[in-house]
A = this chain, B = another copy of it.
Amino acid sequence: MLEDKNPQRTSLSELGEFGLINHITKHIKNQHKCTVRGVGDDAAVLAPSKMQTLITTDLLVEGIHFDLSYMPLKHLGYKSVMVNLSDVYAMNGETKQITVSIAVSNRFSLEAIEELYAGIQLACETYKVDLIGGDTTSSTKGILISVTAIGKAEKDTVVFRDGAKETDLIVVTGDLGAAYLGLQVLEREKQVFQVNPNNQPDLNDYTYLIERQLKPEARRDIPKLLKELKVTPSAMIDISDGLSSELMHICSQSKVGCKIYEDKIPLDPQVISACEEFDLDSTMVALSGGEDYELLFTISIDDYNKMKANPHFTVIGHITEERQGMKLITKANQELELKAQGWNALKE
């Protein structure tokens, strides 16, 4: 339904690898002084810094992580950057540089790759990131994107997953579950389209859900906000695989348990109505849906007053002793064992 109707098609083999690299990189302007040398040498060069360096990398594979029948290439480029920036923000850091490598089959034209890089470029401009390197090659099937983000964090305020302590409060940013429901809507429309290609979908009721799936935004604002509020979380992680999976990482690495409250989990009204329509449990969707790219963190109870009135944050529970396990307190006041059923890229 979102196919490229553009009749122009320049084959990548005409251009060759260096031609493609030149074509993609000729408009790149580095924004940061600390980018001493970007694209164009054996390696990029970054200036020395008194801050710590953060390195994170993610691989997105067609047919595994995305479906181009409803994911426009420009959005894919944008999202592939977000996924990585989100990991840097989850360390309470900021990103200044990324590298992007792609492998593409000859199914893709130069114009398609330009669309992909337009999304990458837009992400770089919006999030103030320099594209400093990468690799371009062919694949025998489909498209694959490998992004590495290079960030900075202060030694005193970098946040790991393993610092959560008993009685700490558990906080999430934004709301959860929308990206997963966006995917369900798009999958349904794809099936409708396959049966009746002339059907015009009305997606007005799902705009937020679809945007969260196709154009997620990483929470660059949160490390800044935490600094303003003078709050350093004791542990932090980004929510890419679903709330319960991420909570499990914090709890197992911090050697603690947790208790979260079903009625505290922040949900957008579109999530609630779409869950009714799809006959899904909204709590399950929030716990296991994934791809929200919100941040999950723990803070000392002493910091509660600094953030309780802030609309970006929702306290959903607290950290307990390890032997108490991971618990969900339902709206009916039942205590359930939390299970990580997040997305698993290697499941068949």
A217 close to chain B: CB less than 8 A: no
> In the complex the two chains form, is B45's CB within 8 Å of A53's CB?
yes
The residue in chain B whose Cβ has the minimal distance to the Cβ of A34 is B53
A36 close to chain B: CB less than 8 A: yes
> In the complex the two chains form, is A43's CB within 8 Å of B59's CB?
no
Closest Cβ of chain B: how far from A210's Cβ, in Å?
Answer: 24
A158 close to chain B: CB less than 8 A: yes
Q: Contact check: which of B47, B52, B63 meets A140 at CB < 8 Å?
A: B63
The residue in chain B whose Cβ has the minimal distance to the Cβ of A106 is B348
The residue in chain B whose Cβ has the minimal distance to the Cβ of A89 is B42
Given contacts A42-B238, A144-B144, A345 and B138 within 8 Å (CB-CB): yes
The residue in chain B whose Cβ has the minimal distance to the Cβ of A20 is B346
The residue in chain B whose Cβ has the minimal distance to the Cβ of A162 is B41
Per the 8 Å Cβ criterion, residues 127-176 of A in contact with B are 132-142, 144, 146, 148-151, 153, 155, 158, 160-162
> In the complex the two chains form, is A146's CB within 8 Å of B57's CB?
yes
Q: Contact check: which of B15, B36, B37, B51 meets A48 at CB < 8 Å?
A: B51
> In the complex the two chains form, is B153's CB within 8 Å of A91's CB?
no
> In the complex the two chains form, is B55's CB within 8 Å of A151's CB?
no
Residues in B neighbouring A273, C-beta threshold 8 A: none
> In the complex the two chains form, is A13's CB within 8 Å of B53's CB?
no
A33 close to chain B: CB less than 8 A: no
Closest Cβ of chain B: how far from A49's Cβ, in Å?
Answer: 6
Closest Cβ of chain B: how far from A127's Cβ, in Å?
Answer: 15
Residues in B neighbouring A90, C-beta threshold 8 A: 42-43
A61 close to chain B: CB less than 8 A: yes
List the one stretch of A96-104, A189-197, A309-317 in contact with chain B.
A96-104
Complex Cα–Cα for A13 and B132 (A): 35
Q: Contact check: which of B42, B54, B99 meets A44 at CB < 8 Å?
A: B54
Given contacts A55-B46, A101-B146, A160 and B37 within 8 Å (CB-CB): yes
14 residue pairs of the A-B complex, CB under 8 angstroms, read A11-B348, A16-B347, A17-B346, A36-B52, A40-B253, A42-B236, A45-B52, A45-B158, A47-B52, A48-B48, A48-B49, A64-B103, A64-B140, A138-B345
Binding site for B on A (CB under 8 A): 11-13, 15-18, 20, 36-37, 40-59, 61-65, 87-88, 90-91, 93, 97, 99, 101-103, 106, 132-142, 144, 146, 148-151, 153, 155, 158, 160-162, 236-238, 253, 344-348
